[in-house]
Amino acid sequence: MPDVAAAREATAARLLKISAGNSYDPEIDIDWAAPQPAGLLYAPERRLSLYGTELWDALTPEQRVELSRHEVASIASIGIWFEVLLMRMLLRHVTGMDPRSGHVQYALTEVGDECRHSVMFGRMIDALGTPAYQPAAVHRALGRYLGATAGGIQTFAAALIAEEILDALQREAMADESLQPLVRMVSRIHVVEEARHIRFARDELARQVASAWRPRRWYCQIIVARAAYTVTHTLINPQAYAAVGLDPARARAVAWANPRFRETLRWAGTRVTTYLQELGLVEGPAKSVWRAAALI
C-alpha cells in the first residue's frame, strides 16, 4: 500500500508541474472574432459520418462544409456533456481524501482544466452558429447514474474512453492546414491539456484494477462497455443531418451502416480499447457491447 501511495503521489507531482508550465486560457489564446474562411471544412471529410455513402455523393460542396460544421458542433456539445460528467466523478473520487495530497490537488487542477475546456467548446459552438446538441434521454439517464454512483474503475475507464477518442480526432484536425483555423486552435489547446489528463487516468485506472475483487471487475466490465457505447452513439446527433436537408433517421442509419465511419470509430478508439483489453476490462459478455459501439 505505501508503494501504491508513493506512485500515486509521484504521478501527481509530475502532472502538477506540467500543468503549471503548460496551460492555456481560451479567452486570451483564441481570437473568437476571427472570420471563418468560406469553403473550408471543419473536419477532415474522410472522418465525417456519411463520407463514402450515396448520401454523401449527393451533397453539394456547400452542404458538405455545412455538415462538417454541424458534426464538429455535435462532437463539441457531447464533449461538454462528458466533461461535466467527468468533473462530477472526479469530485466524488476525491471527496473525503486528504486535500494536502498531490493526488487530490491534481484531480482538482484537472477539474479546473475541464471547466475551461467546457467554456471553450461552448464558445466554439456559439461561434459556429449551430445548436448545442444534446444526447438522447437514455444516454442522459446513464450519465446521471454514473455521476451519482461511479467510482474507481468506472470513473477512470469512462474518462479515458471519451478523452482518447476525442483526442485522436483532434490530433488529426489540429495538424490539417486545410481545415478552419478556429477548429484547429481549439483542437490544439485541448490535445495539449488532455495529454496529462489521459496520463492521470491511465495510471490511476491500472492501480484501481489491480486492487479490485473479481466480482467488482465483472460489474465494471459491463458498465464501462455501456459507457463506450454511449460515447460512440452520441458523437453525431441526428439533427446535424437535418441541417443539410437530410432525413435524420435515415441519415443516422446510413452512417451506422457506413464501413468508413465505423472504421473511423475503431481508429479513434484503438489506443484506449487496446489499453482496456490489457487491463482485462474488455472481456466476456461486455465484448458484444463493445462491438455494438463499433470499437472492436
DSSP assignment string, 236-292: S-THHHHTTT--HHHHHHHHHH-HHHHHHHHHHHHHHHHHHHHTT-S-TTHHHHHHH
**pLDDT per position as a tens digit, 27-81:** 999 999 999 999 999 999 999 999 999 999 999 999 999 999 999 999 999 999 9
2 pLDDT above the threshold of 60: no
**pLDDT per position as a tens digit, 230-272:** 999 999 999 999 999 999 999 999 999 999 999 999 999 999 9
**pLDDT per position as a tens digit, 75-114:** 999 999 999 999 999 999 999 999 999 999 999 999 999 9
22 pLDDT above the threshold of 90: no
C-alpha cell at 254: 446510413
pLDDT averaged over every residue in the chain: 96
Give the predicted TM-score (pTM) of the model: 0.95
Q: How far apart are CA 90 and CA 17, in angstroms?
A: 20
pLDDT for 86 equals 95
Q: What are phi and psi of 100, to 5 degrees?
A: -80, -15
Average pLDDT on 280-291 reads 96
pLDDT for 276 equals 98
Q: Which of 110, 81, 83, 79 is nearest to 94 (CA)?
A: 110
Q: How far apart are CA 203 and CA 198, in angstroms?
A: 9
Q: Which of 63, 73, 272, 38 is nearest to 159 (CA)?
A: 272
**DSSP helix/strand/coil, 35:** coil
Neighbours of 248 (CB within 10 A): 14
1 pLDDT above the threshold of 80: no
**pLDDT per position as a tens digit, 276-285:** 999 999 999 9
Dihedral over Cα of 181, 185, 186, 191: its sign: positive
pLDDT for 23 equals 87
Q: How far apart are CA 226 and CA 176, in angstroms?
A: 32
